[in-house]
Structure 1
Amino acid sequence: MLTSTTRRKRAATFLALAAALTVAAPAVEARPGGGGSMGSRGSRTFNAPSATTTAPTAAPMQRTQTQPTPGMNNPGMSNPGMQAPAARPRFGGGFMAGLLGAGLLGALLGGGFFGGLGGIASMLGLLLQVGLVVLLVSFAVRWFRRRNGEPATAGAPYARSGLDPNAAGGSNAGPGGAAGAGGMLGGAQRPPQQRPVQIGPNDFQSFERLLGEVQDAYSHENMVGLRNLATPEMAGYFEEELRGNKARGVVNRITDVKLQQGDLSEAWGEGAQEFATVAMRYTLKDETIDRNTNRVVETEPGEATELWTFARNPGRPWILSAIQQTR
């Protein structure tokens, strides 16, 4: 029979274990993005945003649909387009090597390349015959390569075609050239040209307004609104989170969103599209509520600091493209 002292010890042990598990478990917050880093920032997706007073450091992307390319700064991922060059059978690779080996062996044994002179004369004859065979082999190789439409000279330098032979989609690209190797930049395998973008007061007002509108649409599980306010990628992530809330029988209510501090991290353009990454510290009321009883089951911290990246096309408003957490 357990004594009261033993029961207390066991209870203390269980409480300590539960506390340890609570500390070790990663904190997943309920607001849009779940406290994670997700989305796309164009060719800068895998680059850390520039430091700001509001957000000196940023966590790397955890979820993104952007595929890394050779022009992106992403040392943690290998380049799927790089392949080892396939071995090609060459004319004379086996037969001529055996013939030359037999000739050298004959010379070492005193019989010359095909038999004949001895001593110094035999060696001179060997060199002449080797030179003759090399010329014949070279002529035959060139003739066969011309016939097959290959370059006439082995090891010729790469043509100035604009492609890096060491990059994916270069000399080892599959069908379709660079694009066949998984290129995401129209087959050029070069990072898109970037240009500076000027951000003014109207843009900052748009960013602050989007902060509140995205939170409100997420709180009301308004997927139509989220698809209008965010890229299809981000809207897809939000939809997954909302489906998870429904499966758990809860709803995330976010109210009283207010921007406290914000500053521009970087703004740039790629082709016709423009991007702006903004560090924002804001306050909010973030609660998770049981759908059946309307009881608050979880309350999140009332302040958050995140980096939001917005994107827009010509003549279109800014929409949310990525959310990153600070470290």
Structure 2
Amino acid sequence: MVATDFAEARVGRSGSFGSRGTKTWSTPAPTPTAPSAQPMQRSATPQGQTAPGAAARAPGAQPGGFFNRGGFMGGLMGGLLGAGLFGLLMGSGFFSGLGSLSGILGLLLQVGLIFIVVRLVMGWLRNRNQPSYAGGARPDATGPDASRPQPLQRDGLNGTGAPQGAPMGAPLGGAAPRAGFGTAPRGRPLKLDGTDFDSFERLLGEVQTAYGRDDRAALAERLTPEMMGYIGEELDDLAKDGLENRLTDVKLLQGDLSEAWSEDGRDYATVAMRYQLKDVTLDKATGRVVQGDPERLEQAVEFWTFTRTPGAAWQLSAIQQG
């Protein structure tokens, strides 16, 4: 039971939380490192302040049925069909005014009229639901996709002398990603450079180790106030149970930039990271290991979102489990 309670003891053990500006309640773009992320569970950003169209019907979704459609055409067809059914029950056919056309000829004429009306209405509905594309382009058109996430890379040579364009694997490195991908619906594209990627990797290790030491002063420098509140709750829960969570040997194994954008005077970057660390929960009084193996390296895959005002240092603003 103890192992189950503290299976996620590192930073972010309480799930997915934080803020990503107008993209808070949308799913980060998939990457090779992490194809999907858990939805945000806790955030100070109200769901009503998300990007426009976040609650719109999914592409390809159809309306709730022909008879559920309102407006003039829905009322017209509902009246026609309702009157026709009533006429059938009363023995006068769909159109009582055609009672003189008895027999098979009258029946065929009524069926033909109904068929023509239904075809006209269905054609009108089909044209109404046909999506329009700016410039005639379709979402499934072939060609390069500038919004597809790419491995984190940096300009020029990295610290180890790797050539420009080398993909990021272990520490973050390589050629700078193309501007234009990961654009927020209400933001503008943000171009990052090698120093930004170095900051993301450094913050991963510094936040985890500060958490393992319960160093709240160090955490406050590296987290947004909202994130500091959530992480402080986790540390309070550990202290209340007489436990401490030691996190050591943190190392980034793979990372991809999911999204990078600017909005309302702030920069945002969401990064998918797969990293390893030693994660052990101890009883403070006795030093007994409650959960984890001090000699075993564990791996985690998460989306970390960083934010800053232009010219300031990056801070962690959200964590979503992969």
- Asked if these proteins are the same fold (TM beyond 0.5), I'd say yes
Task: Report the CA distance shift for 1:75/1:27 in structure 2 as closer, same or farther (over 3 A).
Answer: farther
Alignment correspondent of 2:47: 68
State the distance in 2 between where 1:222 and 1:248 align: 18
Sequence identity percentage: 51
State the distance in 1 between where 2:8 and 2:196 align: 28
Confirm whether residue 309 of structure 1 aligns to residue 305 of structure 2.
Answer: yes
State the distance in 2 between where 1:22 and 1:213 align: 27
- Note the alpha carbon deviations across 1:288-321, whole angstroms, 9 max, x for none: 0010111111017700000000000022110000
Determine which of 315, 319, 322 is the counterpart of 1:323: 319
- Note the alpha carbon deviations across 1:77-96, whole angstroms, 9 max, x for none: xxxxxxxxxxxxxxxxxxxx
Q: 3-state SS of the aligned residue for 2:206?
A: helix
State the distance in 2 between where 1:303 and 1:30 align: 12
Alignment correspondent of 1:141: none
Task: Report the CA distance shift for 1:316/1:245 in structure 2 as closer, same or farther (over 3 A).
Answer: same
Alignment correspondent of 1:252: 245
State the distance in 2 between where 1:26 and 1:264 align: 32
**Larger deviation: 276-285 or 196-205?**
196-205
Q: Write out aligned runs for 1:160-175 (5 A).
A: none
C-alpha displacement of 1:71? 4.9
Confirm whether residue 59 of structure 1 aligns to residue 38 of structure 2.
Answer: yes
Alignment correspondent of 1:229: 222
Q: 3-state SS of the aligned residue for 2:254?
A: strand
Aligned residues: 191
Alignment correspondent of 1:202: 195
The runs of 5 or more residues in structure 2 that have no matched partner are 57-183
Contact conserved, 2:199 with 2:314, CA < 8 A, in 1? yes
Tell me how large the CA RMSD over aligned residues is. 2.4
State the distance in 2 between where 1:275 and 1:45 align: 11
Confirm whether residue 37 of structure 1 aligns to residue 16 of structure 2.
Answer: yes
Alignment correspondent of 2:166: none
Letter in 1 for 2:37: A
Q: 3-state SS of the aligned residue for 1:69?
A: helix
Larger Rg: 1 or 2? 1
**Larger deviation: 299-308 or 196-205?**
299-308
Confirm whether residue 48 of structure 1 aligns to residue 27 of structure 2.
Answer: yes
Contact conserved, 1:261 with 1:280, CA < 8 A, in 2? yes
